Structures are given as structure tokens and as C-alpha cells.
Amino acid sequence: MSIIGETVTTKSAHLIELEKKWGAQNYKPLDVVLTRGEGVWVEDVEGNRYLDCLSAYSAVSQGHCHPRILAAMQAQAGRITLTSRAFYNDQLGPFVQELCEFGGYEKALPMNSGAEAVETAIKAARKWAYTVKGVPDDQAEIIVCAGNFHGRTTTIVGFSSEEQYRSGFGPFTPGFKLIPYGDMEALAAAITPNTAAFLVEPIQGEGGVVTPPPGFLTEAAELCRRQNVLFIADEIQTGLGRTGARFACDHEDVRPDIIILGKALSGGFYPVSAILADAEIMDVFLPGDHGSTFGGNPLGAVIAREALAVLRDEDLIGNAARMGEYFIDRLSDMASPHVHEVRGKGLLIGVDLLPEAGAARDYCERLRQLGILAKDTHKTVIRFAPPLVITRPDIDWAMERIAYVLA
């Protein structure tokens, strides 16, 4: 095992300096400057290769620069890219049809970023509450979970339990109630006649790869149905095969009333997000109620169609299940003195370090020096979420290095 870049070289240092001088400092990246990618591998400006175990927070599930998605994008980019929804385009119809058939819903509403899709779901739930359920004007409540991550708009950070996400950005949108994640009693107690929806991640990715108690999603969905409350699953990170199932909710045979998708929906090429729901809910949106200049554009539609086709044709959901099990087994067998717990599902894996083990970021720095890019989350958790195209030899290669760093 060779050690990469113990000292940052001139080329990287210069580019890092440019970002620091001219860019807002709202991130603190690892000191690696990437210039190309292929499948599970990425390369920095010095020519060092790394196994990408972050996949851009699960957006690059199909692998970097997937040739089929690339070809589809290039062909469409030379035809037409943006029409706005003032006109029809010949790609949006086929895209929403294929997405609905994939997800098993009657209607789709395309947006761009994940946060916009979450905002769309919130608007759908509120308008449904007023026009279908009969909640008095401006009284709708949405229940969310502590430890949530749903994006960075002011409304969304307003119902975060993470102090740093909120601090300095108020005042916030009212109408949200926080309960502990995975707590059925708290959910039951929080529901009132004005509750429009329960918004939940089936696994909290940014929250530290936290899974709820088995049966929670089933029970929560059942309770919501009985109480006429919409069950909304944010599957932006967990959906589209990441956990070894089509959606993470599939593991418990739960069908959310609204499902929110993003990230891997475009295979990492372009921001494409969407919500899926049946007509009874989606039809609350009337012309002019909601929109986005880029949402549903033909370039994004083509990319997303191909990204879904790759998921199907390469059995990436099955591969995520098989390789995820192997990855988690190998990690669990490691018996490192620094590890509290290995958890996750499919290829969404968290290694939770013991408090005395030091910061997860330091481990990520050392992994980087050995050619593995991973990202800490919540100070004590190293997240492993490689592209779903990863193979057994790739994992074996990684394990040698992970074992070394965790030893």
C-alpha cells in the first residue's frame, strides 16, 4: 500500500487556494482535487486514483461518467435542452411515465435539487390537508424526526434538530413538530386533527446512517393511514437501489403516500429530482400553483430515463444487496478496537467509532492517503456509500486498507 499525497503538491495546492480565495467557505472538503472519474474510481490532478466510497452522497450510484447516460446526455444536449413548462417537450411525457411505472404511482412532479422536491412534497401535503382533509386555513402541521436531513432551504433547516443548520438563519416557517426518530409513541402523541403529514427518511443518511427499529416504518405508515395523515418518505439518498431494494421502504413493504427522489435519479450528471404520488394527492396542484424553470426540462428527462434504465439493465439494485451484504460482513468481521458499531443496509453503510477513537474525519484523511474517499458524518461515523456498480475485488481492495486504518 502506497501513501498518497502526505504533502499536498503545488497543483492541488493552487486549485485549493483558488476555491478558498474566491469561493464561499460553506464546505470543508478533504484535500483532494478530482479531475476525472470512471465507474467506482476517481482520479486527482496529480494522477492518483481513489475508490470513491461517497458517490457524491449517493448521487453517482450508476458509477462516474456512465457511458450510456453520457451518450444519452450528449445526444440530447445537441437537440434541445430547455423549453420551460410554458410549452410541452417530447421527453417529459416518457420520463414521468417511466418514473411512475418504476415507482408504482399514478403521477410524478419533476424538480431539480433534492431540497426543491422536499419543498414540493410539503406544499402538496399542506394543500391536500386544506382541500381534501379539511384542515382549517394555515393550521396544517407536519411531523418530522430529530436527526433529519431534508436539505438546506430556510423552511427545511427551520425544522432541523441540528443547531448549526439553523443558527443564524431564522425566523423559520411554522407548522412543523419534531419527534424522536423511530419513536411510535411520540408519533401517535404528536398527531392532531390538523396533522397533514409525517415526513421521514427510512434510514437517516446524513444523521449518521441511523436505521429505525424494525417494523417502525410499517407501524408508522399504518397509523398514518388510520389517522388520515400522509406518510411521506424522503428517499433522496436511500432510494433507487442504494439500500439493496428499489426504495428503502420496500424492505418493510411500505408504500408511502408521497415518495421523494433525487440524487441518483440522474446518475450524477445533472440535478433531477421528483415527487411521486397518486392522483388524489398530486391533483391538488393546479396550473400556476407550483413550478420551476428547469424542472422537467428535456435534457434532465433524458438523463433520468437513462439513469433508471441503467439501474434496471445492470441489476444495480441486486448488486447493491449482494455487495452491501459482503461489505457489511467484511467490516463486521474486522473486530477493530476503535469501532462501536457497523450499521446500514445495502451500500449505505456507517462505521460508528467509539468516543475515545478520535474524530471520524481523521480516519477519512488516512483512508484518502491509502486511496479511498469516504466522508465522516456526525463526527463519529465514517460513511461508506460507493457506486452500486462496485465489485467484490473492489471491496477486497478497500478492505485491506480500511482494516489497516481501523487497526
Ligand X SMILES: *Cc1c(COP(=O)(O)O)cnc(C)c1O
Residue ranges binding ligand X (CB under 6 A)? 57, 113-115, 118, 149-151, 201, 205-206, 234, 236-237, 262-263
Q: Which of 61, 350, 386 is nearest to 210 (CA)?
A: 350
Provide, rounded to whole angstroms, the least separation between the CB of residue 268 and ligand X.
Answer: 11
- Give residue for cell 443547531: 163
* Nearer to ligand X among residue 236 and residue 406 (C-beta): 236
* Nearer to ligand X among residue 201 and residue 394 (C-beta): 201
Provide, rounded to whole angstroms, the least separation between the CB of residue 117 and ligand X.
Answer: 8
Decide if 263 is catalytic.
yes
Strand partners, 260: 234, 275
Q: Please pick, among 95, 149, 216, 247, the residue that the annotation labels catalytic.
A: 149
CA 371 vs. chain centroid, Å, equals 24
Number of residues that make up the chain: 407
Decide if 169 is catalytic.
no
Please, are residues 260 and 284 in contact by the beta-carbon 8 Å criterion?
no
Provide, rounded to whole angstroms, the least separation between the CB of residue 1 and ligand X.
Answer: 32
Q: 269-294: string of b/e by CB count within 10 Å (b at 16+)?
A: bbbbbbbbbeeebbebbeeeebebeb
* Nearer to ligand X among residue 203 and residue 302 (C-beta): 203
* Nearer to ligand X among residue 115 and residue 349 (C-beta): 115
Helix 298-313 and helix 92-103: axis angle, to 10°? 40
Q: CA torsion sign, 240 to 113 to 138 to 207? A: positive
Ramachandran category for residue 293: left, alpha or beta (phi over 0 → left; psi -120 to 50 → alpha): alpha
* Nearer to ligand X among residue 348 and residue 367 (C-beta): 348
In the complex, residue closest to ligand X by CB: 114
Decide if 11 is catalytic.
no
Provide, rounded to whole angstroms, the least separation between the CB of residue 59 and ligand X.
Answer: 8
Q: Please pick, among 44, 52, 234, 257, the residue that the annotation labels catalytic.
A: 234
Provide, rounded to whole angstroms, the least separation between the CB of residue 320 and ligand X.
Answer: 16
* Nearer to ligand X among residue 126 and residue 242 (C-beta): 242
Provide, rounded to whole angstroms, the least separation between the CB of residue 26 and ligand X.
Answer: 12
Q: Please pick, among 263, 327, 375, 394, the residue that the annotation labels catalytic.
A: 263
* Nearer to ligand X among residue 37 and residue 207 (C-beta): 207
Provide, rounded to whole angstroms, the least separation between the CB of residue 282 and ligand X.
Answer: 20
Residues designated catalytic: 149, 234, 263
